[in-house]
Structure 1
Amino acid sequence: MQWRNGLSALIGVWFILAPWILGFSDRTAAVWTSVIIGAVQAIASIWIAVQREAAHGWKTWQNWVSCLTGVWFILQPFVLSLSGLAGETWTSVILGIVTAALNLWEMSAEESTAGSSSGGSRAAAS
């Protein structure tokens, strides 16, 4: 399991637990959104990590899904009126940025690895 995908999966698990840890479990829409999107992020991150041979850089839909969940978590406190809760807002925004960055980094790293390995095999074949 790549460490970037592992960290992204852990952040997804955090968002599943966040409503009770950060104290916004009384806001039904925020709870369900956090739990469902957090689970999607965790599943997509684990899925791509265990299927390393199927990953192809920017074409990896699981990384795109996880990246989009990161973008959602940046917006969540403002869309769901949680901005009055400073702890939730900062945690969500920072971890959303980290998630999006990790997945963009993972996709670019896979692309450069795939490019260098295919280039190396072409050179060996020549």
Structure 2
Amino acid sequence: MANWTNAKLCDVANLILGATLFVSPWMFGFDAGTVSTNAYITGIAIAILAIAALAAFAVWEEWLNLVVGLWALVSPWVLGFQGTTAMTVHVVIGAAVAILAAIELWMMSQIPPRLTTGR
């Protein structure tokens, strides 16, 4: 665990958040329609992107996770399920995923480029 970076911890957190969103229809009793389908698809996307980032980090994975997190955040208004438990779950998880992705992107921009020695 000593070799783990903050970015990997963010990816593990996103994996857990994606899995939580995926199982949230069963945990909180969402309807079996659009709301639960959105939770399944969005949760799977977040989890797959987190697994991909853990396997081999690439900046595009974090950008996609940011987009998917923002989708989860705004989807209650777009799909019309405001004022429900499903809305709270989507907004909280979406905001957390988007914030974690933004933090990872910020951390990557703070690392100075490596100089090559020409060997």
Give the shorter-chain TM-score range: 0.7 to 0.9
**2:41 aligned residue:** 36
Runs of 4+ in 1 over 4 A off after TM superposition: none
- Secondary structure of the 1:84 match is coil
1:10 maps to 2:8:
no
Whether the aligned pair in 1 keeps the contact of 2:21 and 2:93 (CA below 8 Å) is no
Structure 1 residue 95: Cα displacement:
1.6
Alignment RMSD? 1.9
**1:20 aligned residue:** 26
Structure 1 counterpart of 2:64, one-letter code: V
Alignment of 1:71-86 (within 5 A): 71-85=70-84
Structure 1 counterpart of 2:41, one-letter code: I
Whether the aligned pair in 1 keeps the contact of 2:22 and 2:40 (CA below 8 Å) is yes
Pair member with larger Rg: 1
1:92 maps to 2:98:
no
Whether the aligned pair in 1 keeps the contact of 2:39 and 2:90 (CA below 8 Å) is no
Structure 1 residue 24: Cα displacement:
1.0
Structure 2 segments unaligned to the other structure (5+ residues): none
Structure 1 residue 30: Cα displacement:
1.5
- Percent identity, please: 21
Structure 1 residue 35: Cα displacement:
0.5
- Secondary structure of the 1:72 match is helix
Number of equivalenced pairs = 112
Q: How high is the TM-score relative to the length of structure 1?
A: 0.78
Structure 2 counterpart of 1:3, one-letter code: L
**1:68 aligned residue:** 67
- Post-superposition Cα deviations, 1:53-107, rounded to whole Å, max 9, x if no partner, equal xx3xxxx11111111111011112222222131x222222122111101001101
Q: How high is the TM-score relative to the length of structure 2?
A: 0.82
Aligned counterparts of 1:25 and 1:31: Cα–Cα separation in 2: 6
Structure 1 segments unaligned to the other structure (5+ residues): none
